[in-house]
Amino acid sequence: MAPHNDVEAFHEVLRSSRRILALCGAGLSASSGLPTFRGAGGFWRNYDATQLATVRAFKMDPGMVWLFYAYRRHLALKAEPNKGHKALAALARRNPDFLCLTQNVDNLSQRAQHPPSQLKCLHGSLFDIKCSNESCDWMQKGNFDDPFCAALAPASVDMPNGEPLPLLDPYHRVKHITEDELPKCPQCSSGLQRPGVVWFGEDLDAHMMMDISAWLRAQPVDLMFVIGTSAGVYPAAGYIDKARKLGARIVIINLEAEDEAEMFKVKPGDFAFGKDAAEILPVLLEPIIGKPNEEGEFEKP
């Protein structure tokens, strides 16, 4: 059997694969300059990013949690989709049987022209706003205001000459933002507006989950990409085993994928590429999407 990182052997498998699934995580957007959740980039000020992504944190200090999200909205708006997002979008345009599940909330796959019907945003979007009152169904899609509101302006500052943003320095005191300074829900007038993302303990969108289940049930899956994710958050990570049970070979693309400690995840017939997703995806997908043009775009079919 060819080694797990043999690009030519992978191309053979790709050419004979029709139904393809992908699960993407923060590593896909790392080359666009967006931090990941775990590991070195996983701290914001002195907070663990995964602790801020909780209902509990929002209830305790909505102003601080909003600053975290306002900063990430600003960063995502300034970032550009990378070659990895573009290569996946090109694969989707060429193969209607390719479905991409992304845990990312940064809107970069959409901005890379990924066909919306072939993209499921498992954890919502930084640019959707909803009401924090669980009994209120108000939601606003596609809010790109930056700053989101006057009190959150410190999160939208661009420093000259790449100087670090004071807000990111844990020793820099930030003015406490009170609930009165944050926008209220226009429908129920009682809840605070909050980011339309999925926090720990919250359900993923039921319609989206049913669509994904229906796609999985329809026919066997030939190949599944697991891209730039630590694959430790459920139900997202559970799709890897589901696809495997449906016959899929797994291809893991992650900076750590070929580390000794990670190799137990690579079963016979699987592939693992310990590379930057933005660099390796165009190489791996070339038999289907071709080479990018001079502007770095993959031609539309």
Binding residues vs ligand BJW (CB under 6 A):
25-27, 30-31, 36-38, 50, 53, 103, 105, 123, 197-203, 228-230, 232-235, 253-256, 276-277
For 243, the enclosing helix (H) or strand (E) is: helix 238-245
Q: What is the rounded CA–CA span in Å between residue 43 and residue 25?
A: 17
Number of H helices, E strands in the chain: 10, 11
The verdict on whether 123 is a catalytic residue reads yes
Nearest CB to ligand BJW, comparing residues 62 and 228: 228
Q: What are phi and psi of 127, to 5 degrees?
A: -105, 10
Which residue number is nearest to ligand BJW in terms of Cβ?
27
CB of residue 215 vs ligand BJW: minimum separation in angstroms?
A: 19
Residue 191 in contact with residue 185, Cβ under 8 Å?
yes
Nearest CB to ligand BJW, comparing residues 256 and 299: 256
Q: What is the largest CA-CA distance in the chain?
A: 63
CB of residue 296 vs ligand BJW: minimum separation in angstroms?
A: 17
Among residues 11, 123, 176, 207, the one annotated as catalytic is 123
CB of residue 2 vs ligand BJW: minimum separation in angstroms?
A: 22
Q: What is the rounded CA–CA span in Å between residue 58 and residue 28?
A: 27
CB of residue 18 vs ligand BJW: minimum separation in angstroms?
A: 25
Q: Does 131 appear as a known binding residue? A: yes
> How far is the CA of 261 from the CAs of 78, 252, 266, 272, in angstroms?
35, 14, 11, 13
Nearest CB to ligand BJW, comparing residues 228 and 282: 228
Nearest CB to ligand BJW, comparing residues 19 and 152: 152
Q: What is the rounded CA–CA span in Å between residue 260 and residue 101?
A: 27
Q: Does 24 appear as a known binding residue? A: no
Residues labelled as active-site residues: 123
Q: Which residues are annotated as a binding site for Zn(2+)?
A: 131, 136, 185, 188
